[in-house]
Each structure stands twice: as C-alpha cells, then as structure tokens.
Amino acid sequence: MDTNDNPDLDARLGLLRSALADMDTPRCVEKELMQAFNAAFAPPRPWYRRLSLPEWCAAGAGSFVAAAMLGLLLVPPRLAGDMHEAQPLVRFDDGAAFIALDSLERIDQEAEPRLVQAEVPRTMLAALGLPVTPENAGEAVHAEMLVGAGGEPLALRLTSID
C-alpha cells in the first residue's frame, strides 16, 4: 500500500504503531494464531498423509500377520516325511465302515488277515468316539475284527449298535 498519496494515513499508522509498542503480548500468541488460521483455512491433508510413519508400519505389520494367518489356515498341514496323500483311518466295505486300529501300512502288509466275530464292551468304544452313558456302559456291542496272523487286532467294524 502506497502511503505517499495520503499524508494523513501516515500519521494515523504512526500513532497505531506507538500505541501497540507498549503492549507486551506473550510469544506463543503468534504461533497459536497461525495454527488457528491453518486449521480454519488450510486445505485438508490427503488420506495417505493422515497417518504417521509408525502408524503405517503398524498397519502393514497387522496386514502381514493377517495374511500369514489366513495362509496357515488355508494350507493343509504336512508332515516333513509325508510326501504321499494321507489315507483315511476309516475304509468302507459293503456299506459298513472299518475303523483302523493300527496304521494302514501295517494292515496292508499283513499277509493273511482274518475276520473274527467279537463282543466288544461299550466302554472300550468310548475311546473311538462312540457315546457311552451310565445306562449302557455295561453292555456289549457286536463287532467284526480284522485280526493279523499273530492275533493282534488291526481293524474293527461294528455290526450292531443298540
């Protein structure tokens, strides 16, 4: 603003300067005024600048952990020496299920297995996951057992469950 054209304005600005020189304002007033001005009139920051570097690192680490957990849940576990498909512990024969009591490799290696009729106490079947109540705990269940040459049981098929 050019004050040379208006000498009266120069005198009035001089009075204003001398009146303000006596006022002692704290140092932080200008800083607080600038912050208030920036908060009111500054353009909003972009979304990617709203987070600080540590917040971005935490978000990245969290997403990495979530992806790793999802990968662990989706990939079936494999044993170190297990290079073939896992065989089920239950095989079906004529519609009935044989429950393997020994490993399937051991059952396959048996030269002459034989099928034996047996009465199995229901309490022993609780280990295989069959429900046992106090009312039927003393009962026996009819079963067929696949027995090896040495007499050891290899597999079990329940023929009647009452």
- 59-88 pLDDT, tens digit each: 889 888 888 888 777 776 554 445 444 444
* Alpha carbon separation from 65 to 14, 48, 52, 106 (Å, rounded): 67, 21, 20, 41
φ, ψ (nearest 5 deg) of residue 97: -100, 130
Question: CB pairs under 8 A, 24+ apart, for 18-27?
Answer: none
Of 92, 98, 87, 94, the closest CA to residue 145 belongs to 98
Residue 145: is its pLDDT beyond 50? yes
State the pLDDT at residue 80.
46
Mean model confidence pLDDT for the chain: 78
More confident: 56 or 27: 56
**74: which residues sit within 8 A by CB, 6+ positions away?**
none
Residue 64 burial (CB < 10 Å; 0-12/13-18/19+)? exposed
Query: Residue range 104-133: average pLDDT?
Result: 82
pLDDT at 93 over 70: no
What single-letter amino acid sits at 22? D
**E strand or H helix that includes residue 18:** helix 7-21
Q: Which of 121, 116, 156, 161 is nearest to 137 (CA)?
A: 121
Which residues are registered as beta bridge partners of 118? 143
